[in-house]
Amino acid sequence: MTIVRHESSEILSDVVEANGFVFTAGVVADDPSEDAKGQTEQILKEIDRLLGLCGTDKSKIVSATIWVTDIRNRDQVNVAWRAWTGGKDLPARACVEAKLADPRLLVEIAVIAVK
Amino acid sequence: MTIVRHESSEILSDVVEANGFVFTAGVVADDPSEDAKGQTEQILKEIDRLLGLCGTDKSKIVSATIWVTDIRNRDQVNVAWRAWTGGKDLPARACVEAKLADPRLLVEIAVIAVK
Amino acid sequence: MTIVRHESSEILSDVVEANGFVFTAGVVADDPSEDAKGQTEQILKEIDRLLGLCGTDKSKIVSATIWVTDIRNRDQVNVAWRAWTGGKDLPARACVEAKLADPRLLVEIAVIAVK
């Protein structure tokens, strides 16, 4: 059993591999000045990158958890989400409302993939 | 490594199998006119159905996340939960408060099972 | 495929093992009179104990979800978290705000580890 941790900061690793699964941290936008759709686009691009570090990709995501600071932004998140998934290889998903670490952050997404 | 996705909509799959695990989406009630207990009963019946699609069942759930829109409804959720589990084969569980996609929805539950 | 459930109460198991993974319940403080840092210390000690029941330990945590009732307490949580992790073997992590089962509870943490 091997655990591979990528891009560890002081408190977390951005993505961790173990036993054929890949777990990302809750990813937020680097540029919080964008709206919910723009922040989601940033997040999904970063998730692509993190999965790539593990030798996997979005077609192998099995589960996603999405937190939005205002549930009314769910539609905007879904616009970016649908463009990104292309309606293919869709994971199980939950989307609920929660305040996030910085009030400018509108969206946070964590995924579990296989590799 | 094979991923099996069941009942994919535009944005998510209701349940996904991979590497011996089964991940459900966050399941909500079809009929949101019911109270928290009734909605939970609907959700748990749907989870039974989703696990059945994957050839597994509630005795193999390892983890459950429950979101309630009002934490005071936790007791009502637990009445339905206890009737459903029968106190057997209990998963690890977290239950926290969060607003959900539709204001009439009072409960959302996602589970991870093995098969 | 074997599932091992430890310390099952009426509604949940404190920790469940299956397929090389270990899932803890959402752990809260036994003594809710402490502040967010103190509650986090209690929780992390309990997580150590639960992982030990499964023959694993904190160096093998792959993912952690942290709920805080006031996101401004995240800094206090992180003080306890950093002392506990020692900056090593860091999991993927998400930390969001949510009300919890008892208003005195300020923090809840669930982890997934491997063994």
Q: Is A92 on the interface with B (CB under 8 A)?
A: yes
Nearest to A100 among C19, C71, C89 (CB): C71
Distances (CA, A) of A52 to A9, A45, A74, A115, C46: 19, 11, 26, 10, 34
pLDDT, tens digit, 9 for 90 and up, residues A93-112: 999 999 999 999 999 999 99
Residue among A2, B60, B6, B45 nearest C23 (CA): B60
Q: In total, how many domains does chain B have? A: 1
CA atoms in the 13 A half-sphere facing the CB of C35? 10
Dist CA C84 CA A11 (whole Å): 10
pLDDT recorded at residue B13: 98
Residues of C in contact with A108 (CB under 8 A): 94, 96
Dist CA C99 CA B64 (whole Å): 17
pLDDT recorded at residue A13: 98
Question: Across the interface, do B67 and A96 touch by the CB < 8 Å criterion?
Answer: yes
Nearest to B60 among C3, C23, C101 (CB): C3
Q: Extract the residue ranges of chain C whose pLDDT is less than 70.
A: none
| Å between A26 CA and nearest CA of chain C | 4
pTM of the entire structure? Answer: 0.98
Query: Would you say the ipTM is above 0.90?
Result: yes
pLDDT recorded at residue A19: 97
Q: Is B115 on the interface with C (CB under 8 A)?
A: yes
Question: Across the interface, do A90 and B18 touch by the CB < 8 Å criterion?
Answer: no
Q: In terms of residue numbers, what domain contains A10?
A: 3-114
Question: Across the interface, do C62 and A3 touch by the CB < 8 Å criterion?
Answer: yes
pLDDT recorded at residue B22: 98
Question: Across the interface, do B82 and C8 touch by the CB < 8 Å criterion?
Answer: no
Q: Is A97 on the interface with B (CB under 8 A)?
A: yes
pLDDT recorded at residue B42: 98
pLDDT recorded at residue A101: 93
Question: Across the interface, do B114 and C25 touch by the CB < 8 Å criterion?
Answer: no
Contact yes or no for A62/A114 (Cβ under 8 A): yes
pLDDT recorded at residue A18: 98
Cβ neighbourhood burial of C4 (10 Å; 0-12, 13-18, 19+): middle
Q: Is the pLDDT of residue A1 over 80?
A: no
Contact yes or no for C82/C90 (Cβ under 8 A): no
| Å between B106 CA and nearest CA of chain A | 12
Interface size A-B, in CB pairs within 8 Å, comes to 78
pLDDT recorded at residue C97: 96
Dist CA C46 CA C56 (whole Å): 13
Residues of C in contact with B63 (CB under 8 A): 16, 23, 110, 112
pLDDT recorded at residue B2: 93
Residue among B28, B21, B38 nearest B81 (CA): B38
What the block records as the tokens of B73 is: 């409804």
| Å between B57 CA and nearest CA of chain C | 13
Nearest chain A residue to C60 by CA: give it. Answer: A3
What the block records as the tokens of C85 is: 């992790």
Q: Is A18 on the interface with B (CB under 8 A)?
A: no
Contact yes or no for A56/A115 (Cβ under 8 A): yes
* Successive 10-residue mean pLDDT values, chain B, 115 residues: 94 98 98 98 98 98 98 97 98 97 97 97
Confidence band for A31, pLDDT divided at 50, 70 and 90: very high
pLDDT, tens digit, 9 for 90 and up, residues C79-107: 999 999 999 999 999 999 999 999 999 99
What CATH number corresponds to the domain at position C16? 3.30.1330.40
User: φ and ψ at B95, to 5 degrees?
Assistant: -135, 115
Segment 22-51 of chain C within 8 Å of chain A by CB = none
| Å between B24 CA and nearest CA of chain C | 16
